[in-house]
Structure 1
Amino acid sequence: MLVHICCAIDSHYFLRKLREDYPGERLVAFFYDPNIHPYSEYRLRLLEVERSCRQLGIELIEGPYDFESWMEAVRGLEKEPEKGRRCAVCFDRRFEVSAAKAAELGEKSFTSTLLTSPKKSLEQLRREGEKLAEKYGISFLAPDYRKASGTQEQNRLAKEAQLYRQDYCGCLYGLGIQREQQRKLADELFVPLSGQIQPESIEERIALYEERIRLEEAGIPYRIVKERFLNWRLEWALLKVGKESTPSHILPYSTLKKPFTRGRIDGEIAPLAFLNRDEVKFIGLSDYNRLAGTRYGTVSELLYAPPPFDKELELRRELIPSFYDLSPVIVVDKIPDRKIEFSMKAHSFEDVRERLIPLIER
């Protein structure tokens, strides 16, 4: 039996139930989810599915990440709600490829872990699956593992295995609609040009879950705990000195009350220089290098290969000891001596992140 996999939260429980109900079946897991966006989120979910399948001893096949084809398939349905027409097209596509893969492998049936998702319509999934099964001459199994406290058992197993629990279905449009309803920033879509890993970003989660696998392979016990913190994302910034655009690097947790300010440097307490408006502060690259222990030749070099986020945060705390100061701190090649125009849009917001703690016996 080929089992289409959407995520580890659903598959870990679903695969165990299939084993109980179909003990004679050889299960082949098939991860095919080109709807998941961004790609880093796709890699994170696949990482967890790989771990789950290893624990269960089930073969896993990864399907193609043909995201562009999926986008074309749902064109015009961007504003559809959850369980609407876009979801039907999405199921059709994933079920079509899964049914074709099952027939290619000589399997007689296929099913999908989407059936256990409480956010999906069981009847809609069953209808689409049976239609495609008939097309490929195989059967579609649609067990209802949500009933009889199945959803509660699924959540218990996920918690016990400390599985990554995503908080949106996966697609770009579903994410946008959900964050808009929550009045939250879709920070999953923020990836700096520099490649610097941001706090509570998908890239940070991938690093955490890869380290978790390393600890498991080494037999080291651990806990994953959650912590509430102040997060930050820079959307864009532009510095002009004497009307000329000037390379600048913005330190973490810099915010501006309004998107635009202008003024002149009216004082300096080394290594910081102060704009006469809106708490804006500047630091020259030579001082940045000295304090950060770096050797950048220009701010442009710094922009595309900055130090890790935490190291820059330490530098900010050295420059401004207060934990509560959100003033803009701007790194420049040299302190401006002409009229300054500065525009920036940044977001500081309450958030929750995970932390991996190895448990070492004393």
Structure 2
Amino acid sequence: MLVHICCSVDSHFFLQKLQHDFPDEKLTGFFYDPNIHPYSEYRLRLLDVQRSCKKLGIEVLEGDYDFEAWMQAVRGLEKEPEKGARCEVCFDKRFEVSAKKALELGEDKITTTLLVSPLKSQEQLKKSGDAFYEKYGIEFIAVDYRANGGTQDQSRVTKEEKLYRQDYCGCFYGLTMQREQQDRLMDEMFSPISNTILPASIEERLEMYEHRMKLEDKDTEYKIIKEKFLNYRQFNFKLIKGKKEVIPAYAIIYSSLPRKRAEGRIEFEDKKIHYFNREEVKFIELKYFNSLCNSNYKNIKELIFNPPSFDEELKIRNLIEPAYYSLSTIIVVENITDSKLTITLDARTYEDTKEKLIIL
């Protein structure tokens, strides 16, 4: 039996039940989910599915990540709600590819772990599965493992197995609507051009879950906990000299402006820190920045595209402005100027929760 797999939270419990109910069937997992976006989230879910299937002794195959083809398939259905027409098209696409994979492998049965997800319509799934039975002659096994306390058992298994518990289905459009309803920043879609790993980002989780697999290979005990903190995302920043001359500049993390714009001049300098006459802004020169982080950046462009890590940059901020919870804008430039300056900075600080791995 070929089992289409969407994520480990659904698949681990579902596969355990299938192993019990179909003891004579050789189960093969098939991870085909081009709907998952961004790609880092796709990699994270695949990683945890591979870990889960390894624990269960089940082979897992990976389908193509044809995200552009999926976007074409759901075009015009962007505003559809969860369990709406977009989901049906999404199921159909994944079932068709899964059915073809089953034919390729010589399988005569197929099912999907989506059946156990409380966020998915079993009726929609069964309709799609039955349609492909008629088309391809592959029987769709529509088991209901949600009933009789199944959802509670699934939650227990998720905790016991330390599975990655994502908080959105994977679809870009579903996530957009979900974050709008929650009035939350959709920071899953932000990734800096420098490839810096940001706190509570998908990339940070991926790095952590890759590390935990290495720990498990060495039988090292660990715990994954959650902690609340003040997160930060910078969307755009520009420094203009005079009326229109853009000066290369870099705004250190947790820099923020209440009105996203400030005009003024640098008034004075103290201990290599230059003070702006608006909005508590501070300037430092690149050579001083280099001395603080023991680096050798030759120009601001190099700093923009290859900055220190988030934690290292936070240490630099604390050296410049050691006050706790500092949100003053700190700008790095190559040379200080006495001309009129215009700062535009769109950034956001917000309460957030992130996972942390503790080695015991």
Settle same-fold status: TM greater than 0.5.
yes
Q: Look up the match of 2:227.
A: 227
The Cα of 1:133 is off from its aligned counterpart by: 2.0
Query: CA offsets, 1:81-134, max 9 Å, x none?
Result: 111111111011001111111111100100000000000111111111110122
Pairwise CA distance, 1:59: 0.3
Name the residue aligned to 1:347. 348
Aligned counterparts of 1:269 and 1:156: Cα–Cα separation in 2: 58
* Structure 2 residue 303 is the aligned partner of structure 1 residue 296: no
Q: For 1:257-268, what aligned pairs fall within 5 Å after superposition? A: 257-268=258-269
**2:61 match: secondary structure:** strand
SS at the partner of 2:236? Answer: strand
Deviations 1:53-76, CA, capped at 9 Å, x for gaps? 111110010000000000001111
- Within 5 Å, which residues of 2 pair with 1:12-23? 12-23=12-23
Q: 1:56 maps to which residue?
A: 56
Q: Give the TM-score taking structure 2 as reference length.
A: 0.99
Same amino acid, percent of matched pairs: 57
Return the alpha-carbon distance in structure 1 between the equivalents of residues 251 and 31 of structure 2.
39
Q: SS of the counterpart of 1:36?
A: coil
Q: Which residue of 2 aligns with 1:305?
A: 306
SS at match of 2:169: coil
In structure 1, list runs of 5 or more residues that go unmatched. none
Partner of 2:359: 358
Q: Alignment length, in residue pairs?
A: 359
Q: Could you tell me which residue of structure 1 aligns to residue 108 of structure 2? A: 108
Quote the residue 2:320 is aligned against.
319
1:272-308 Cα deviation digits (max 9, x unpaired):
2111011111111000000001000001000001111
Aligned counterparts of 2:337 and 2:36: Cα–Cα separation in 1: 45
Q: State the one-letter code of the partner of 1:85.
A: A
Rounded Cα–Cα distance in structure 1 between residues aligned with 2:215 and 2:85: 43
1:99 partner letter: A
**TM-score if structure 1 supplies the norm length?**
0.98
| Alpha-carbon displacement from aligned partner over 1:241-270 (angstroms, at most 9, x marks no partner) | 122111111111111101211100011122
1:278 corresponds to which residue?
279
Tell me the SS of whatever aligns to 2:83: coil
Match of 2:165 in 1: 165
| Matching of residues 17-36 of structure 1 within 5 Å | 17-36=17-36
Residue 315 of structure 1 and its aligned partner are, at CA, apart by 0.5
RMSD: 0.7
Q: Could you tell me which amino acid in structure 2 is paired with residue 229 of structure 1?
A: F
Which letter maps to 1:313? Answer: L
* CA deviation after TM superposition for structure 1 residue 8, in Å: 0.3
Partner SS, residue 356 of structure 2 = strand
Cα shift readout 1:8-52 (whole Å, capped 9, x = no counterpart): 000000000000000000000000000000000000000100100
* 1:140 corresponding residue in structure 2: 140
2:246 corresponding residue in structure 1? 245
Return the alpha-carbon distance in structure 2 between the equivalents of residues 59 and 356 of structure 1: 28
**SS of the counterpart of 1:119?**
coil
1-side partners of 2:338 and 2:31: how far apart?
Answer: 57
Equivalent-residue separation in structure 1 for 2:201 and 2:3 (angstroms): 30
Partner of 1:3: 3
| 1:311-346, Cα deviation, whole Å (9 max, x unpaired) | 000110111111221011111111222110110110
Correspondence for 1:337 = 338
Could you tell me which residue of structure 1 aligns to residue 154 of structure 2? 154
1: distance between equivalents of 2:11 and 2:164?
12
Moved over 6 A (4+): none
Aligned 1:121-136 pairs, distance under 5 A: 121-136=121-136
Q: Equivalents in 1 of 2:272, 2:201: separation in Å?
A: 31
Structure 2 counterpart SS, 1:34: coil
The residue type equivalent to 1:312 in the other structure is E
Q: Structure 2 counterpart of 1:269, which letter?
A: D
Distance in 2 between residues matched to 1:134 and 1:281, nearest whole Å:
69
